[in-house]
């Protein structure tokens, strides 16, 4: 059974939480209008939980993912803004716990009895190129696990590119949008985590890495923090702006 999270705390008073959040709490708390910066503290995963996950899924977990879970069994940080007298939840940064790092399957995508299968959605006309790696497949060629449901705007996924048995070095991080199109994010979990923190968990920030980009509303929100946070290249669908040097 997954251990219960500790009560949420405001800010990052503990050194290990400060390390985990890369100091982003100080940036948020010093930003005008930002309030209720909250981290739901979670205990570290035990090594046997990682081993059980690997055996159950016939996949070797990447070393940086293991190190992350040995620090905290999942991650959830939120913050709000105060407009007039109203508190509006805005930012949300999340990584699923080990128990929720589940494989993407037909049942997790559709609930309608006559819905198309994931195999029906396969399109092999757009394969790897110089500037875009081969996209994941919904069939046995890839093994896909959900890292974050993105509050319903898509799914960030840990993708094993070569099927089972799956090796740690064959992983990448991809974004699956609501139309079930794939968009490459990063080669490693560490690089993705930096992106997550850099973009402050703003709504739909992953769409900055799609060909159509994020919504005008989200762009406006990001610009509110131009003076406080690392720059974000909103016009480059495969941009790498603002990636920090932290490693797990």
Q: What is the 3-state secondary structure (H, E, C) of 159-208?
A: EECCCCCECHHHEEEEEEECCCCEEEEECCHHHHHHHHHHCCCCCCHHHH
For the four alpha carbons of 125, 127, 129 and 132, in that order, the dihedral sign comes to positive
Residue pointed to by tokens 């109203």? 86
CA distances from 42 to 62, 90, 123, 145 (A): 20, 21, 39, 20
Residue 150: per-residue pLDDT? 93
Burial 129-160, CB ≥16 within 10 A → b, else e: eeeebbbbbbeeebbbbbbbebeebbbbbbbb
Is the distance from CB of 228 to CB of 198 less than 8 angstroms? no
Q: Could you tell me if residue 61 is inside a domain?
A: yes
Q: What residues contact residue 235 under an 8 Å CB cut-off, 6+ apart? A: 213
What token pair was written down for 182? 């794939």
Token duo for residue 154: 């898509």
Residues of the chain with pLDDT under 70: 1-18, 106-131, 221-248
CATH number of the domain where residue 67 is located: 3.40.1580.10
Is 32 domain-assigned?
yes
pTM for the full model? 0.79
pLDDT, tens digit, for every residue of 134-159?
999 988 899 999 999 999 889 999 99
Q: Which two tokens stand for residue 230?
A: 């690392």
Q: Which two tokens stand for residue 93?
A: 């940064």
- How many distinct structural domains can be found in the chain? 1
Residue 128 lies in a domain: no
For residue 233, what pLDDT is reported? 42
112, 113, 116, 118 alpha-carbon torsion, rounded to 10°:
80
Output the pLDDT for position 226.
Answer: 46
The answer to whether position 115 is within a domain reads no
- The range of the structural domain enclosing residue 35 comes to 15-106+133-215+233-245
Question: Would residue 141 count as lying in a domain?
Answer: yes
């Amino acid at each position: 059974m997954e251990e219960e999270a500790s009560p949420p705390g405001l800010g990052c008073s503990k050194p290990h939480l400060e390390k985990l959040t890369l100091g982003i709490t100080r940036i948020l708390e010093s930003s005008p209008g930002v309030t209720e910066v909250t981290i739901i503290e979670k205990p570290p995963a035990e090594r046997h939980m990682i081993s059980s996950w690997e055996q159950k899924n016939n996949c070797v977990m990447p070393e940086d993912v293991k190190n992350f879970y040995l620090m905290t069994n999942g991650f959830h940080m939120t913050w709000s803004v105060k407009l007039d007298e109203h508190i509006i939840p805005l930012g949300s940064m999340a990584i699923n716990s080990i128990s929720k790092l589940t494989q993407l399957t037909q049942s997790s995508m559709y609930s309608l009895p006559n819905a198309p299968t994931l195999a029906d959605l396969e399109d092999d006309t757009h394969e790897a190129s110089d500037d875009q790696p081969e996209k994941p497949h919904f069939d046995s060629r890839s093994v896909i696990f959900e890292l974050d449901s993105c509050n319903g705007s898509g799914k960030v996924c840990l993708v094993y590119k070569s099927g089972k048995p799956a090796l740690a070095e064959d992983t990448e991080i991809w974004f699956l949008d609501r139309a079930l199109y794939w968009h490459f994010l990063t080669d490693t979990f560490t690089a993705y985590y930096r992106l997550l923190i850099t973009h402050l968990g703003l709504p739909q920030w992953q769409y900055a890495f799609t060909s159509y980009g994020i919504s005008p509303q989200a762009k406006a929100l990001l610009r509110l923090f131009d003076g406080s946070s690392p720059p974000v290249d909103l016009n480059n669908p495969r941009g790498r702006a603002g990636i920090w040097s932290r490693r797990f």
